[in-house]
Amino acid sequence: MNTLLTDKTYKPYYERGTGIAAKLLRVNWLFVLACCAVAGIGYAALYSAAGGHGQPYATPQIERFFAALIMMIAIAMVDIRLIAKLAWPLYGVGVLLLVAVWKFGHVGLGAKRWLDLGGVHVQPSELMKLFLAMALASWFHRASHERVGNPLFLIPPALAILVPAGLILKEPNLGTAVITMSIGGAVMLGAGVRWWKFAIVIGLVAVIAPFAYHHLHGYQKERILTFLHPGRDPLGAGYNIIQSKIALGSGGMWGQGFLHGSQNQLNFLPEKQTDFVFTIIAEEFGFAGSLVLVSILLSMVAMATYTALRCGHQFGRLVALGISTNLFLYCFVNLAMVMGLIPVGGVPLPLVSYGGSALTAVMLAFGVLMSVHVHRDVEFETADTD
């Protein structure tokens, strides 16, 4: 049993006050400060991406961030047990939105990933990752070890992972689909599903992968071939990653200086305000500046993981685990992509890359994470025994 629930000197949640002021004191303000620091670095990068102007990237992005920050704190005040009750309804909404994207989605850069809602572009796949983690946590939080070990009990959560992943693949968005399945796998592993079951799934994927390659879209095959042979098409498919590596290397230890990055200011960097925004930071602030950003992001992953470990109820533990996994994969995939360590996948850097949907989805997840932290010792229903 969690030490928080057995230590006689520890005052449980209901004895410490449930008002807004008491909840605000329980918010992890160090995590909030880290969010603001990363958003500030993102503002500087987007300001530089526009040649030293707030428009069209930096100013709208920072305005969205502060609005999302208020939303994040507001969600932190909501009782986590209410959020748990909304988990499956939100999952259903997420699936419906993905179906709507498939039928009526807005096409951009060769993919159908956005819904146009009154002039506002929404990317449901970003929201679906949080909704999936919440739904799986709701499924497992009352389950005994015996039920988790029953293969039949694992069929519904497995389908809950495959349905949105399949819809995201149809957009097509391979990177987000893989991250979505990884989040689902992390929550199931945290719930107590044995590792050998995952080994079987990974083995099957390895066997199927060569056959699945022939069913990939043409641009996806090009990304894989370019990853294996970056110089095969330097002015076409390989242009992005070649220019990215040039920018990363030209920054050196201390960088070329703010607004003085040659690759950035001369517009050699592709998609520099979105997927490749890290290259601006590396070129203008060097290895030292890049290390600061990566360190803050890793500290946020560590704090999210600590919230999962510290939580006194299974729902909060699993949701926080899913959110920390999502944050880590966001960072890892984006940074590895711009360094040429993995194929380009179109995954933004959280709180840094330009984009309203990704920013809102990340801050919504952080709000749920803070709610877990604030309500980490509330009492849920007892676990099932049959």
Task: Tell me if 92 sits within 8 A of 107, measured CB to CB.
Answer: no
Query: Which residues sit opposite 117 in a β-bridge?
Result: 120
Torsion of CA 160, 162, 167, 168, to 10 degrees: 100
Burial label for 140, CB within 10 Å (0-12, 13-18, 19+), is: buried
Asked whether 27 and 73 are in contact (CB, 8 A), the reply is yes
How far apart, in whole angstroms, are the C-alpha atoms of residue 206 and residue 212? Answer: 10
Q: Can you name the residues that pair with 116 across neighbouring β-strands?
A: 121
CA distances from 200 to 155, 165, 209, 322 (A): 15, 19, 14, 22
Q: Kindly tell me the sign of the dihedral angle through the C-alpha atoms of 373, 374, 377, 383.
A: negative
pLDDT by position in tens, the chain (length 386): 444 444 444 455 544 566 899 999 999 999 999 999 999 999 999 999 999 999 999 999 999 999 999 999 999 999 999 999 999 999 999 999 999 988 887 666 556 777 877 667 788 999 999 999 999 999 999 888 889 989 899 999 999 999 999 999 888 788 899 999 999 999 999 999 988 888 888 888 788 877 777 767 676 777 777 777 766 667 777 788 889 999 999 999 999 999 999 898 988 887 899 999 999 999 999 999 999 999 999 999 999 999 999 999 999 999 999 999 999 999 999 999 999 888 887 789 999 999 888 999 999 999 999 999 999 999 886 555 44
pLDDT of residue 119: 66
**Chain segment 366-385, per-residue pLDDT in tens:** 999 999 999 999 988 655 54
Largest CA distance in the chain: 67
Contact 304, 327 (CB under 8 A): yes
For residue 17 the two structure tokens come to 């006050």
